[in-house]
Amino acid sequence: MEYHGINGDLIKQYITFKRSIGYALDNTYTFKMFDRFTIEQGGDFIGLTRELADKWAEKQSERIRCYTI
């Protein structure tokens, strides 16, 4: 899977690392969603800020709320 956001290389490295220590990580859809999210947010900072994490958490809680109603 290709990642195009500012953290794309870090996401790929994380997935590679986790797989190297035995995790399957077959479903990487959430990583792709996060990559798209950082692009939408105009992310220009490599890494994870508290502000970005809070926005991501809010978006995920909205998404979950839509499925539980």
The pLDDT value recorded for residue 17 is 97
Q: How far apart (Å, rounded) are the C-alpha atoms in residues 6 and 44?
A: 6
Cβ–Cβ under 8 Å, residues 45 and 6:
yes
pLDDT of residue 68: 60
Q: What is the pTM of this model?
A: 0.81
At residue 3, the pLDDT reads 96
Q: Which positions of the chain have pLDDT values less than 70? A: 65-69
